[in-house]
Amino acid sequence: IPPGFDAGALVAALSERLGPDTLKVVNTVRACRVGRNDPVVRALSVAIRAEGGSPRAKVKTGTSDMNTLAERWTVPMATYGPGDSSLDHSDREHIKLSEYLFGVGVLTRALTGLGEHLTGENR
C-alpha cells in the first residue's frame, strides 16, 4: 500500500461492488516513510559507502517489518537488506552469498556507528 493510500476506502468501495460477505480483509499495513536525516538511515548510508556500495533510497510498500513496527514504535528505524527487493516474497526470491556477506558488513558497521552515536562515545 503506498504512503497516504486509504485502504479503508478501497475496502469499502470493493465491498459495495461485490456485495455483502464477499470480501474478507485479514490485515492491512500502512506504508511509512523515514527521512534521510533519521539516525538509522544515516548510519546505514555511511556503512554502505564504507563497504564500497552506493546507498539508494527505496519506498517499501508493506514488504518490510518496519511498516508494522512503525505503527506502534516511535523510535528511529529503517529497512535494509541485500538482494533484489523486487523479488521479495516471490517464488524467485534469492540472494547471492556475496550480497549476504556485504549486508553483514554493512549491518555490523551501521550498528557500531549507531551505538556510538546514541551513547555519545564518538564525541
Q: Any idea where the domains of the chain sit in the sequence?
A: 1-30, 35-119
What SS3 class is residue 44? helix
- Whether residue 123 is predicted with pLDDT greater than 60 in this model: the reply is no
Entry pTM: 0.75
pLDDT tens figures, 26-74: 888 777 888 888 899 999 999 999 999 999 887 766 667 888 888 888 8
Instruction: Report how far residue 105's alpha carbon sits from residue 107's, in angstroms, rounded to the nearest whole number.
Output: 6
- Whether residue 121 is predicted with pLDDT greater than 70 in this model: the reply is no
C-alpha pair distances (Å), 83 with each of 28, 86, 94: 25, 9, 7
Q: What is the pLDDT of residue 118?
A: 75
Q: In which band, very low, low, confident or very high, does the pLDDT at 8 lie, cut at 50, 70 and 90?
A: confident
Task: Answer yes or no: are the C-beta atoms of 32 and 91 closer than 8 Å.
Answer: no
Q: Which residue has the cell 534469492?
A: 94
Instruction: Report how far residue 119's alpha carbon sits from residue 37's, in angstroms, rounded to the nearest whole number.
Output: 18
Task: Answer yes or no: are the C-beta atoms of 87 and 9 closer than 8 Å.
Answer: no
Say yes or no: domain 35-119 is CATH 1.10.150.900: yes
